[in-house]
A and B are shown apart, each in its own frame.
Chain A
C-alpha cells in the first residue's frame, strides 16, 4: 500500500508542472524572433537598449552552430519560417539563394553602411544582398613572439619557405616539438585552411567555368596540400593534428606548444592575449598572411543575419538588423561576445582607441580579404567541402597520396555539381 502511494505521489508531482504547458505564441506586434548561435545571443544590456531605442523586444532562440542549419532547413521545407531573422553563414549563401528562402535586403540597410562592410559582397546571390554580416572572420598568421626570439628569428615569416625554415629552427632548439598548429581532421576547419593555403600559393580553387584548378602538380591547390602533408611528415605539425578540429588546434597554441597558428582567426588574437584563457597571453602577435606572390591574400568567413522570405514580422526584423550593425552595437558585440566588427570604420575606431590587439596588422589584412568563390558561394559547397576534408584527412594519414587526394576531390566536386 505504502509502495503504491509513494509511486503515485512521485508521478503526480510533475503533472502539476505540466498544466501551464501552453505558451501562447508571441502576438505582440513589436516582438522580433531571432535565431542565432551563442555568440549572437545579445546580453541583456544590449537587448534593453534595443527596446528603448527602437521599441522592439527581442525573442532569441539560441542554437549551437551545427544545429542552426538543421533547424532552418526543417522549417523552410515544412513551409514555416524558423524566425523573423536568422543566422546566415557565408557557406549557405548559394543554397539559400537558389532556394529563394531569404528576402533580398536592398534598400533595407542604407548603401553607405553596406559600403562600410566589405564582407557584405559574400552574401550577394544573383546580384541581391541576402544577409548583412555582423561577425567578421578572416585569417591572419598568429605567432608566439617569444618562441621566435629564442630561436633567433627577428621577424615573422612572410613566405611558406620561410615559415618552414623558422619552424625547423624552433624545433631544432627544442623550443617547440611541433611548431606549426594546423588542423588536418575531417572537419570544415581543415578544409578552409587548405583553401587559405591555396590562396597563399597564389591560385584559385576553380576557374570561371567552375573547373577544378587544383589537380596539376604545379597548381596552387596541389602545392598547398603537399605543403601540409610534408610539414606533417617532417614533424613540424603534431601527428595528432589528423584528429584535431580547429578549436582543438588553437588550444595547442594557447598552451604554448605551437609557435604558429597558421590559419589564425583574426578575432582570436584577442582571445590568445587574454591571460584568463591563454598561457601565452603576453607573447602573442599577428602578422600578415604568408604569400608567394607578394600580396598577402587571405579568405574571409563571415557570419550574417538575414530575413526569411516567409518571416512574419519583417518590419521588426529590418529594424533589428539596422540596429545591430550600428557602430556602437558592433563595439558592444565585440567587447561582450568577441565578434570582430564587420564595419571598417569601427575597426579603425577601435584601433585608434587602442582596443584592437595587433590592430594595424588586422586592419591591413582586412583590406586584402578575397572571396573564396569569385562567382559567390555555389549551391554544392557543402558537398564539395566535405569531400575536401575527407580527402585531406586521408592524405594526411597516408591513406592517399596528394595526387590521389586532389583527384578524388575533383571527381567528387564534379559529381556534386551534377543536378
Chain B
C-alpha cells in the first residue's frame, strides 16, 4: 500500500462526518434520553437523602456511600456477587465455546441443535427458577434422586443448608439460562472465519490445537470480548435465580437483591441507588479489565 493511497484513505470523504452522524443520530437520541439522562439523575439523587418516610431531601454528599461501606449486609452481598461473577464467567465461556465449536462442526440438523441450545433462554425466568426449585427440592428433587440412583449419595441432602453449595447451585441456574447467549455470539464469530485459512494451515502441517490457538482464538477475540463482558454484566445483575431459589437469605443474596431490598422494601431510596451505582461501576471495571486483556493478548499481525 503506497503512501498516497494511505493518505487517501485517511482523508475523510466529503460529507462522511454528516453521514456518520446521521447514521448514529437515532442511537444518540434513544440512549441519551432513556439511559444517560436517567443515569445522571440517579447519580445526583444518590448524593441526597431521598427517603419518602422523612421530610425534605437534604444534600448529604457521599454519606450514603460511606454508610454502604460499613453495612455488613452489603459486604455479604458483594462477596456473593463476586463468586457468582467468577463462576458464571468461567462456566459460560467454557461451556459456550464448547457448544459453539460443536455446532460449528455439526453438518446435519444444525438448526435443531441450535434451537435446543437456546431453549433454556426461552423459558420465562420465573418458570425457569421454579423448575430448578423443584429439581433442588430436598425431599423429591431430581438432583437427590439422580445422585442416589448412581450411588453417589446415601441420604437426601438439603442443598441450600450449605453456604458454598447454595452459591454454586444458584450460579448454575444462572449459567444454564445465560450460556446460550455466549454460545450464539461465539458461533457468529466462528462462522465469520473463512474456511481457506484452516486449509492453508493444514497444508503447513499445523495440528488441531495449533489451528485453534493460531487461527480460531485470535479471530474470535472480538466475539469473546463481547461474550465475556455480557457474562460479567449479567452475573453482576443476578436477581431472579437467587430470589426465587433462596429468598432474601444472606447466604445467596446478590448485590441487586440488596439494592431491591434497600430501595423498594425498606424505601431508603437514595441509599439503594448509591449501591446500584457502585454495582454498575464494579461490573464496568471488571468487564473493561478483560476486554482490554483479550484484545491485547490475541492481537495478531
A and B touch in the complex (CB under 8 A): yes
Interface set of A (CB-CB < 8 Å, partner B): 69-70, 73-74, 76-77, 95, 98-99, 101, 185-187, 238-240, 242-243, 245, 379-380, 382-383, 386, 389-390, 393-394, 397, 399, 416, 419
Q: Mark B276-290, 1 if CB is under 8 A from A, else 0.
A: 000000000000000
Q: Which among B159, B251, B265 is the interface contact of A69 at CB below 8 angstroms?
A: B265
Q: Is B52 an interface residue (CB 8 A)?
A: yes
CB distance from B13 to the nearest CB of A (A): 28
Q: Are A243 and B267 also in contact (CB < 8 A) when A99-B52, A386-B248, A386-B261 are?
A: no
A240 to B138, Cβ gap below 8 A? yes
Pick the residue among A98, A239, A243, A386 that contacts B265 (CB under 8 A).
A386
The interface residues of chain B lying within 8 Å CB-to-CB of A186 are 246-251
How long is the Cα–Cα vector from A399 to B159 in the complex, in angstroms? 15
Evaluate contact between B250 and A390: CB separation under 8 angstroms: yes
Bound form: Cα–Cα A186–B161 in Å: 11
| From A239, A379, A419, contact of B138 by CB (8 A) | A239
Give every chain A residue within 8 A of B248 (Cβ-Cβ). Answer: 186-187, 386, 389-390
Output the residue of A74, A393, A399 with the most chain B CB within 10 A: A393
User: What is the chain A residue whose CB lies nearest that of B161?
Assistant: A397
A242 CA to B247 CA in the complex, in Å?
12
Q: State the main secondary structure of chain B at its contact with A.
A: loop
* Max chain A Cβ within 10 angstroms of own Cβ: one of B137, B139, B260: B139
Min C-beta distance of A365 to chain B, whole Å: 28
B185 interface residue per 8 A CB criterion = no
Indicate whether B132 reaches chain A with its CB closer than 8 angstroms.
no
Q: Mark B99-127, 1 if CB is under 8 A from A, else 0.
A: 00000000000000000000000000000
B62: chain A residues within 8 A (beta carbon) = none
Tell yes or no: B171 within 8 A of A by CB. no
B158 CB contacts on chain A under 8 angstroms:
239-240, 242-243
Complex Cα distance, B247 from A187, in Å, reads 6
Q: List A contacts of B161 (CB < 8 A).
A: 239, 242-243, 397
* A185–B249 touching, CB < 8 Å: yes
Q: How far is the CA of A390 from the CA of B251 in the complex (A)?
A: 9
Contact with B263, one of A73, A379, A383 (Cβ below 8 angstroms)? A73
CB atoms of B52 and A101 under 8 A apart: yes
Question: Please, which residues of chain A bring their CB within 8 A of the CB of B265?
Answer: 69, 382-383, 386
Neighbour of A95 across the interface among B160, B261, B267, CB < 8 A: B267
B53 within 8 A of A: yes
CB-defined contacts of A394 to chain B, threshold 8 Å: 250
